[in-house]
Amino acid sequence: MSFISYLISGISLGSVYAIIALGYTMVYGIARMLNFAHGDIIMVGAFAAFTVSSTLGMNAAAGVIAAVVVCTALGLTIERVAYKPLRQAPSLAVLITAIGVSYLLQNLALLIFGANPKSFTSVVPVPALKLAGGELTISGVTIVTIIISIVVVIVLSLFVKKTRAGRAMQAVSEDRGAAQLMGINVNGTIALTFAIGSALAAVAGVLLCSAYPTLTPYIGSMPGIKAFVAAVFGGIGSIPGAMIGGILLGVIENLSKAYISSQLSDAIVFAVLILVLLIRPTGIFGKPLNEKV
């Protein structure tokens, strides 16, 4: 019974990683850059929700909406100000800029909200589910997190495959220059990608803090790194890959915590990443690299 409980909380944790990983993977797939500030956008989302629902006393739904709006605007602003001027720059320059943005966000949050940890009130009003005569308790947040992540992946996959904007994204990720020649607004498409990624980060932030109720300016960094691992694990650039990678990662983390050692779980997670990269360098769902000579 406890195995099932560990498995479910692992899937729930993995679902949060998956939602974050989707942001990484989309931005990487389309803009070919690693947005290391993504983890900190999660944190901003959580603070926005906290400010609206706990400090201003509005209801939880308003908090979630505020988080999504603030993060989308923030994502667009960051893209416009920090990344767009570097579109033709070497990828190392963009990477370092992303790390800079990450620290900027952390320190801004530190200035505005202070370093004292805040206890985040769960925005999920769903009561816990008791199964098997109360032996197995699944919290409401866990259920909601899993459902939301599945819905997000399905909607996103449909969006990319079926809509005009989605197909423009695919085209830009295939060949930016050719896409532009075909009349696709490359800058607009990249901005849209950032907007979607950041909105997902807001959702992830709210879910993350609802499940693990502490809020500091640094909460985004570790889940951000883990989600990046998940994205690489599943094959960076692939939407189902991010989902599977995230969930596998969460399950591995939780089970190794429970059955091997609660201290070594991070080490095991990263060891798995190294193994995956050795065996399948492009990840589980990644396309094999065709070296053009």
* Footprint of another protein on 266-285 (CB under 8 A): 266
Nearer of residues 91 and 261 to another protein, judged by Cβ: 261
Q: Pick the binder of another protein from 85, 163, 214, 287 (CB under 8 A).
A: 214
Nearer of residues 173 and 216 to another protein, judged by Cβ: 216
The DSSP output letter for 146 is: H
Provide the minimum distance between the beta carbon of 136 and another protein in the complex, in angstroms, as a whole number.
10
Q: Pick the binder of another protein from 213, 240, 280, 282 (CB under 8 A).
A: 213
Total number of residues binding another protein (CB under 8 A)?
A: 39
* Footprint of another protein on 80-119 (CB under 8 A): 110, 114-119
The DSSP output letter for 224 is: H
Q: Pick the binder of another protein from 106, 139, 145, 198 (CB under 8 A).
A: 139
Provide the minimum distance between the beta carbon of 242 and another protein in the complex, in angstroms, as a whole number.
20
122 touches another protein (CB under 8 A) = yes
Residue identified by tokens 């399950």 is 251
DSSP letters along 161-201, please? HHSHHHHHHHHHHH-HHHHHHTT--HHHHHHHHHHHHHHHH
Q: How many other CB atoms sit within 10 Å of the CB of residue 252?
A: 19
190 touches another protein (CB under 8 A) = no
CB pairs under 8 A, 24+ apart, for 130-137? 132/1, 135/1, 136/1, 136/4, 136/5, 137/5
13 touches another protein (CB under 8 A) = yes
* Buried b or exposed e, range 187-211, using 16+ CB within 10 angstroms: eebbbbbbbbbbbbbbbbbbbbbbb
Please name which of 11, 3, 6, 4 lies closest in space to residue 142, comparing C-alpha atoms: 11
* Footprint of another protein on 16-75 (CB under 8 A): 50, 54
Distance in angstroms (rounded) separating the CA atoms of residues 32 and 87: 10
125 touches another protein (CB under 8 A) = no
Contact code string over 248-267 relative to another protein, x by CB under 8 A: ------x--xx--xxx-xx-
Provide the minimum distance between the beta carbon of 69 and another protein in the complex, in angstroms, as a whole number.
22
Please name which of 34, 13, 88 lies closest in space to residue 197, comparing C-alpha atoms: 34
Q: Are 244 and 21 in contact (CB under 8 A)?
A: no
133 touches another protein (CB under 8 A) = no
Query: SS3 of 117, please?
Result: coil
Provide the minimum distance between the beta carbon of 1 and another protein in the complex, in angstroms, as a whole number.
8
Nearer of residues 3 and 182 to another protein, judged by Cβ: 3
